[in-house]
Amino acid sequence: KNQVEQSPQSLIILEGKNCTLQCNYTVSPFSNLRWYKQDTGRGPVSLTIMTFSENTKSNGRYTATLDADTKQSSLHITASQLSDSASYICVVSARQAGTALIFGKGTTLSVSS
């Protein structure tokens, strides 16, 4: 069964600190992996999209890594800001017909001052 598991479920860090969020998946055949940021009461916004051949991609202070062999991804946030407080959702796309996006439940990050 195609699944996406994220950890931790929630995380609290101090402003200015770094943090890493994890995503493990059992999706096959794999097409791409995305990270979305969802602010409270808003829709998800894309941070990165990585295909099988890409093992790292950055978007400002956000850096995503992908290990397709172990089926793991991480999202590293550098020098966190209060505005980073949000839910971060890992989404894996299966290479098949129709809509094949499998969403993780998300990691809720709280950045405090």
Partner 1 sequence: NAGVTQTPKFRVLKTGQSMTLLCAQDMNHEYMYWYRQDPGMGLRLIHYSVGEGTTAKGEVPDGYNVSRLKKQNFLLGLESAAPSQTSVYFCASSYFGGPGTGELFFGEGSRLTVL
Binding site for partner 1 (CB under 8 A): 4, 31-32, 34, 41-46, 49, 89, 93-96, 98-106
Residue 29: CB atoms within 10 A of its CB come to 10
The answer to whether 48 and 62 are in contact (CB under 8 A) is yes
| Residues ≥6 apart with Cβ < 8 Å to 51 | 31, 32
Least distance to partner 1, CB of residue 16, Å: 29
86 backbone dihedrals φ, ψ, rounded to 5°: 180, 180
Least distance to partner 1, CB of residue 113, Å: 27
Which residue, 80 or 90, is less far from partner 1 as judged by CB?
90
Least distance to partner 1, CB of residue 104, Å: 6
Bridge-partner residues for 99, per DSSP? none
Which residue, 32 or 78, is less far from partner 1 as judged by CB?
32
